[in-house]
Amino acid sequence: MKLGDLTELAARNLREAVLRNSLTTLGISVGVASLVALLSLGVGLQQLVDRSVARAGLFDTVSVRSRQSAPFGQPGGGRRNPRDAADSAPPRPLDDAARKEIAALPNVVEVNPEIRFTAEARREPISQLVMVSGMAPSSQSSGTLDGLSGHFFSSPDAEEAIIQGDLAKRLVDAGQAPNSLLGQEITLRFAQRQALPPPSEQAPTDAPNQAVGPDEEAMGFSIVPSEKKFLVVGVTPTSESGGQVGFNNSGMYLPLAVAEKLEVVQQADLRNMARSSSGEGTRYAALNIRASSPTAVAQIESSVTHMGFAAFSLIDVTRNLRTFFAIFDLFLGIFGSLALAVASLGIINTLVMAILERRREIGVLKALGAADRDVRQLFFAEAGVMGLAGGLFGVLLGWGIGRAIQFATMIYLKRQGMNPPNIWSVPWWLVLGAIVFAVVISLASGIYPASRAARLDPVEALRYE
Amino acid sequence: MNVPDAATSANGFAIRAEQVSRHYKMGEALIRAVNEISLEIGAGQFVALLGASGSGKSTLLNLMAGLDRPSSGTILALGRNLANMSSEDLATHRNRTIGIVFQSFQLLPRMTLEENVELPLRLAEVPRSERPARVREALERVGLAARTRHRPTELSGGEQQRAAIARALVNQPMILLADEPTGNLDSKTGEEIMSLIARIHRPPSGQGRTIVMVTHERMLAERYADRIVTLSDGAISREERLR
């Protein structure tokens, strides 16, 4: 029999026992709906995490530290990446030469030093300790500045600051909004490195040196308190609203070039002091490499470690995260499929009942020339039509359930004062996969009834009353 | 009368049974429903199988129809041995070579008459565009052209049997097998159905058909059949050539 005739007869047969077949189809729909609803939440959560990390620009960032200076326990420090196990390159200082060498690597867009220091932000009469970071112009599009009020730095050399909403709250007068800080000046007080005066300007060697102490001599620089005013041009949202994303969070951001010029004492300086051989020239605490795409990160990481540096990227962390989500989705899929498995028993039951009811009809069909194959296909088609209808309706139902969960989550999170993220996603492959899965399960459920119907002896079937 | 070309059958026989047996096991007992029957039915003949209940006439008809397989012996329809055919080939035989009419009509109650008559065409994979004309022609032939959209339950017994005959003939088979076609009808309606079958056997124009009819009414058999084969206990007890 041709497919069109099969489908037509199957649809007609299904219409005859409309209540029973509708209930069976509804069972499939519920199974598919539970599968779609659970997986859409799993996929949505995964996408939420992926989106957050990707928008923060962390997937295309490699953090580089010198193996000499990176202590155990710090990312890329004493712990070596498994990929670096075979690497025997000797540790090298992270200096200007290294920066240039890294910048010349393929797929490297830019290499910026990591400038992070603690300072005191003051707006009379209020003052607050704050972590300050240098921010490269390319970070403008990153998720760190999501929801920014005001604007990004007007130029790479502008003496401007973008401050975090929570810090802004503390610096404004009581009752004022954090954004009221926009256009106002803030004084930053920090520890500055100051070069030692040349030996000729120092006191004679036989007299005690009043200006430079022995400790400063040993360090190669002196530390002096310094102050500078910055114009607030941007305020990021408070941390509860998702403004703080990524591992480079700070209370205040300055243009990277400006932050570099401040000559602030950083952790690396203290580390260098602790080491016996500090060497000459600029040494960076860390360099942040921006890759042309997340796919280039692994290769850059490998090249950097072969150069003798410790490299770390969030790809290493998210690899485990992806494994977690794969297992999470698998379990959601299994739980969703359980309902579909129960529904498949309904299909078997319905079709076996149909064989009993239509025994005589099967006999007539065979007497008129239906082959065993035709009868088998007819029952398969009925199972397939139920599966298809159940799959389609189930996807709609699952979509609705997912929307309802998303809606309820939104209300709940809003009541908690949080900005509700989209935790629900129904990608096309899930829609298609769920429908195909429903049809396949239905066809598999139809195997036994269809074979039983095909095997019916026509003479016996025609005698059946 | 025009009958199927003898050349299309084997040696002029539409059906030929050679030492055909059909035995069933019922518990420990062996039921010999048909026991070593040999029978030749010529192309274009109208043969009535007569006998009491349980004589084996319906079993023999089922063997000729390819609904059942013999336990032993051969049964040839238009020269092809049904005993050796695959189930697919037997299905094709039932669809193309023969048409079957049952005592209880066996129309599918949820289909209209035209849908019932269309079923063999669907199974034969006749193009959709050809089907309406062939269904209409078959129903016109049995006088039911005005009842095409009716369901079987809306028709009288005679009309249902006429619809069943239309369904049996829609694929233009060479052989019509009828199992007690008047068994569920009153005598007047039975006469009408027999007249119709006689017209199919010997149409005023066009091709006639070989007819094998199972009946237990000797009077009907004598009136319409060319030959009467009487069965008793699964064997042929008597053969009469009437015409």
Q: Of all residues in chain A, what percent carry a pLDDT higher than 70?
A: 80
**Between chains, do B102 and A4 touch, taking CB under 8 Å as contact?**
no
d(CA B152, CA B110): 8
Nearest-Cα distance to chain A for B108, in Å, is: 7
Give me the mean pLDDT over the A3-30 stretch: 88
Task: Kindly report the number of other CB atoms within 10 A of residue B218's CB atom.
Answer: 13
Q: Over the stretch A93-126, which tens digit does the pLDDT of each residue have?
A: 788 888 888 889 988 888 888 888 888 988 888 8
CA distance A441 to chain B (A): 27
- What amino acid occupies position A31? G
Q: Name the CATH superfamily, with its identifier, for domain B6-108+172-241.
A: P-loop containing nucleotide triphosphate hydrolases (3.40.50.300)
Condensed to tens digits (0 to 9), the pLDDT of residues A212-221 reads 566 666 666 7
- Going through A92-183 in order, the beta strands assigned E by DSSP cover 108-113, 116-123, 126-135, 149-150, 160-164
| A100 interfacial to chain B (CB closer than 8 Å) | no
CA atoms lying within 13 Å on the CB side of residue A147: 14
Tell me which chain B residues have a C-beta less than 8 angstroms from the C-beta of A375.
none
- Is A11 within 8 Å of chain B by CB? no
pLDDT in tens, A156-211: 888 999 988 888 888 887 778 888 888 889 999 998 877 777 666 555 555 444 55
Is B111:B117 a contact under the CB 8 Å cutoff? no
Cβ count near B19 (within 10 Å): 13
pLDDT higher at A307 or A294:
A307
Q: What is the DSSP string of B85-142?
A: --HHHHHHIIIIIEEEE-TT----TTS-HHHHHHHHHHHTT--TTTHHHHHHHHHHHT
- What tokens does B71 get? 């336990």
Residue type, B47: V
User: Which residue of A lies nearest to B124 if distances are taken between CA atoms?
Assistant: A1
A393: closest CA of chain B, how far (Å) = 27
One-letter amino acid of B15: I
With a cut of 90, say whether residue A320 has pLDDT above it: no
* pLDDT at position B3: 44
Among A4, A374, A458, the residue with its CB nearest the CB of B67 is A458
Nearest to B123 among A360, A372, A374 (CB): A374
B110–A12 C-beta distance less than 8 A: yes
Shortest CA distance from B86: residue in chain A: A371
The answer, for B16 touching chain A at a CB cutoff of 8 Å, is: no
- Interface check B119 vs A, CB under 8 A: yes
Q: How far apart are CA A134 and CA A381, in angstroms?
A: 66
Touching check for A275 and chain B: CB below 8 Å? no
The tens digit of pLDDT for each residue in A231-280 reads: 999 988 766 544 344 445 678 899 988 888 888 887 666 666 665 554 55
Is B224 in contact with B194 (CB distance < 8 Å)? yes
A367-384 pLDDT per residue, tens: 999 999 999 999 989 889
Judge: B94–A9 Cβ closer than 8 Å, yes or no: no
Least CB-CB distance to B91: which of A2, A369, A462?
A369
User: Distance between CA B78 and CA A329 in Å, rounded?
Assistant: 63
- N-to-C CA span, chain A: 27
CB within 8 Å of B228: residues ≥ 6 apart: B47, B48, B50, B218, B221, B222, B238, B239, B240, B242
In angstroms, what CA-CA distances link B214 with A291, B120, B225? 89, 22, 11
Give B215's DSSP letter: E
User: Is the CB of residue A18 less than 8 Å away from at least one CB of chain B?
Assistant: no
ipTM given for this complex: 0.92
A382-435 pLDDT tens trace: 889 889 999 999 999 988 888 888 888 888 888 887 777 777 888 888 899 999
Distance CA A395, CA A438 (A): 10
pTM of the model: 0.66
Tell me the chain B residues in contact with residue A363 when contact means C-beta distances shorter than 8 Å: 106
The first and second tokens of residue A43, run together, are: 């996929």
Are B92 and A374 inside 8 Å of each other by CB? Answer: no
- Interchain CB contact of B171 with A (< 8 Å): yes
Interface of A with B in 350-409 (CB under 8 A): 360-361, 363-374
Ranges A10-24, A304-318, B55-69, most confident? B55-69
* Facing residue for B87 by CB, picked from A364, A368, A372: A372
Q: Among the residues of chain B, which ranges form H helices?
A: 57-65, 87-92, 113-123, 131-141, 157-169, 187-201, 218-224
Interface contact B94-A368, CB threshold 8 A: yes
pLDDT at res. B11: 65
Do residues A308 and A101 make contact, with C-beta atoms less than 8 angstroms apart? no
A372: Cβ contacts below 8 Å, ≥ 6 apart: A454, A455, B87, B88, B91
Q: Do the bridges between strand A252-255 and strand B46-51 make them parallel or antiparallel, or are there none, so unpaired? A: unpaired
| pLDDT range class, residue B196, cuts 50, 70, 90 | very high
Q: Which residue of B has its CA nearest to A1?
A: B123
B-chain residue closest to A374, CA distance = B123
Residue B132 backbone phi and psi in degrees, to 5: -55, -40
Task: List chain B domain ranges.
Answer: 6-108+172-241
CA distance A13 to chain B (A): 9
DSSP per-residue codes, A35-60:
HHHHHHHHHHHHHHHHHHHHHTT-TT
Does B71 touch chain A if contact means CB atoms closer than 8 Å? no
Angle between helix axes A428-455 and A372-415 (nearest 10 degrees) is: 150
3 state SS of B73 = strand
The residue of A360, A368, A462 whose CB has the most chain B CBs within 10 angstroms, and thus the best one to mutate to test that interface, is: A368
What is the rounded distance in angstroms from the CA atom of residue B70 to the CA atom of residue B60? 9
Would you call B22 an interface residue with chain A, using a CB distance cutoff of 8 Å?
no
Q: Which of A263, A268, A258, A318 is nearest to A294 (CA)?
A: A318
Tell me what pLDDT residue A150 has: 87
What one-character DSSP code corresponds to residue A152?
S
Angstrom distance (rounded) from CA A448 to CA A80: 57
Contact in structure between A228 and A188 (CB atoms under 8 Å): yes
- Single-letter amino acid, residue A44: G
Contacts of A9 in chain B (CB under 8 A): 122
Chain-centre distance of CA A212, in angstroms?
A: 51
Map tokens 């035989």 to a residue.
B93
- Report chain A residues whose CB lies below 8 A from the CB of B131: none
